[in-house]
Amino acid sequence: MQTIKAAVCRKFGAPLVIEEVQLAAPGMGEVEVTLDAVAICHSDISYAEGAWGGHLPAVYGHEAAGMISAVGEGVQGFAEGDSVVVTLIRSCGTCPSCAGGKPTICETPHDTANGPLKTADGQPLDQAMACGAFAEKVVVDQRQIVKIPADMAKDAAALVSCGVITGVGAVVNAAQLRAGQDVVVIGAGGVGLNAIQGARIAGARRIVAVDMSPEKLGIAKEFGATHGVLATEEKPWKAAYKALGGRGADAVLITVGAIPAYDQAPRYLARGGRAVLIGMPHSGAKAAYEPVVLAAVGQGLIGSKMGDVVIQRDIPWMVDLYQQGRLKLDELISGRWTLEQINEAIADTKTGSAKRNVIVFG
Ligand SMILES: [Zn+2]
Ligand SMILES: [Zn+2]
């Protein structure tokens, strides 16, 4: 056990508390990563607000990068001093989902309440999302990390581990977009911008961004959107058809949590198109659609978690794209904050900013 500083959630909806906590040494197959950067994701905020339940006290944070500072027994291919990104994708490697190439939906349960974290007085402390990265260090499974070049900026690298893989992966792995197809992306926030640049990288013909904010539609164009539609229009899908030459899209990606976006999503689709559900509405929220329409014109609804990525395959690709100037990461960062400023950084993220706030450790 060692003592580190972490931002702890003690009560849903209350500010996080900076505390000294205890972190266990890495066990079998685990590594300790000393973090350089962790971004604030909307999922962290939803958890801290109690939207999805979970154990308390807890440490959130799951979009991180740093350097390996200790290696447990049985770890292969990683060594102290390696630069890595840390993801929440904890996969067993052997269940039917993992064996079928879908580690993001691993079927083996993982008990975050009995992870490596304890409070200063030795009480249970939940390592939320198998990461607990709002902290100076994490201990995670070796399957959750991917090596990155030592000279890659860690604040940019941190973004790859959630927002970027979720958006780009949804286009490539879930929608399986082919070059020349048309795409609608609902929501031009952190994940939406990455779906947009994923569609550009995949060779989309036209990319229509839909958002409530004219400012975000402007940013969407910087990331590759060819058209912008205001979601506040009465029937925004009509403006999207117009942009797409009178036809619907081959894929619509819903990157927001607001239910009307889910109700409306099939309206944007061409015959045979598919809607990919990426956003994370609160538990219990329900959407409605007409099954007969989907059946009659062969449309599909697909859920996608973390972009259906295989991190060991997809993250090195995305790092290359970034280093070749084909994937924007630095442009996604709206602010840099210290761990002590985390509540301000969260408040700033909740103002609806399109981009990511990153906690950097000195
Ligand atoms: Zn996230
Ligand atoms: Zn598994």
In the 8-state DSSP scheme, what is residue 96? Answer: H
The Cα–Cα gap between 80 and 68 comes to 5
Residue 41 CA: which ligand is closest? 1
- C-alpha 168 – ligand 1 centre gap (Å): 13
- C-alpha 109 – ligand 2 centre gap (Å): 9
- C-alpha 290 – ligand 1 centre gap (Å): 31
- C-alpha 47 – ligand 2 centre gap (Å): 23
Query: Can you give the pLDDT at residue 353?
Result: 66
The partner residues of 253 in beta bridges, in order of sequence, read 185, 276
- C-alpha 142 – ligand 2 centre gap (Å): 14
- C-alpha 75 – ligand 2 centre gap (Å): 18
- C-alpha 43 – ligand 1 centre gap (Å): 5
Query: Can you give the pLDDT at residue 350?
Result: 87
- C-alpha 160 – ligand 1 centre gap (Å): 10
Strands of 9-136, DSSP E: 17-23, 30-39, 58-59, 63-71, 83-86, 117-119, 126-127
- C-alpha 163 – ligand 1 centre gap (Å): 6
In the 8-state DSSP scheme, what is residue 164? Answer: I
The Cα–Cα gap between 153 and 155 comes to 6
Residue 194 CA: which ligand is closest? 1
- C-alpha 271 – ligand 2 centre gap (Å): 35
Query: Can you give the pLDDT at residue 283?
Result: 84
The Cα–Cα gap between 178 and 272 comes to 14
The Cα–Cα gap between 214 and 171 comes to 24
- C-alpha 273 – ligand 1 centre gap (Å): 27
The answer for residues whose C-beta is within 8 angstroms of residue 55's C-beta and 6 or more apart is 112, 113, 124, 126
The partner residues of 137 in beta bridges, in order of sequence, read 34
Residue 312 host element (H or E) = helix 311-323
- Going by their DSSP bridges, the two strands 356-360 and 30-39 should be labelled as antiparallel
* Tokens matching residue 279: 């956003």
Query: Can you give the pLDDT at residue 144?
Result: 98
265: exposed, middle or buried (C-beta count within 10 Å: 0-12, 13-18, 19+)?
buried
Q: Is 106 helix (H, G, I), strand (E, B) or coil?
A: coil
Q: Considering only CA atoms, which of 49, 10, 40, 194 is closest in space to residue 131?
A: 40
- C-alpha 315 – ligand 2 centre gap (Å): 19
Measure CA of the first residue to CA of the last residue in the chain; give whole Å: 22
Residue 255 CA: which ligand is closest? 1
Residue 38 CA: which ligand is closest? 1
The Cα–Cα gap between 262 and 260 comes to 5
Query: Can you give the pLDDT at residue 219?
Result: 95
Ligand 1 (single-atom ion) residues, CB below 5 Å: 41, 43, 162
- C-alpha 93 – ligand 2 centre gap (Å): 5
- C-alpha 303 – ligand 2 centre gap (Å): 18
Q: Are 243 and 183 in contact (CB under 8 A)?
A: no
- C-alpha 52 – ligand 1 centre gap (Å): 14
Query: Can you give the pLDDT at residue 354?
Result: 62
- C-alpha 232 – ligand 1 centre gap (Å): 26
Query: Can you give the pLDDT at residue 182?
Result: 98
Residue 100 CA: which ligand is closest? 2
Starting from the edge strand earliest in sequence, which strands make up the sheet with 17-23, in order?
Answer: 2-8, 17-23, 117-119
The Cα–Cα gap between 53 and 349 comes to 21
- C-alpha 140 – ligand 1 centre gap (Å): 16
The Cα–Cα gap between 311 and 291 comes to 34
Residue 164 CA: which ligand is closest? 1
pLDDT tens for each residue of the chain, 362 residues long: 999 999 999 999 999 999 999 999 999 999 999 999 999 998 999 999 998 889 999 999 999 999 999 999 999 999 999 999 999 999 999 999 999 999 999 999 998 888 999 999 999 999 999 999 999 999 999 999 999 999 999 999 999 999 999 999 999 999 999 999 999 999 998 899 999 999 999 999 999 999 999 999 999 999 999 999 999 999 999 999 999 999 999 999 999 999 999 999 999 999 999 999 999 888 899 999 899 999 999 999 999 999 999 999 999 999 999 999 999 999 999 999 999 999 999 999 888 766 789 999 98
Residue 91 CA: which ligand is closest? 2
- C-alpha 302 – ligand 2 centre gap (Å): 20
The Cα–Cα gap between 37 and 72 comes to 22
Residue 86 CA: which ligand is closest? 1
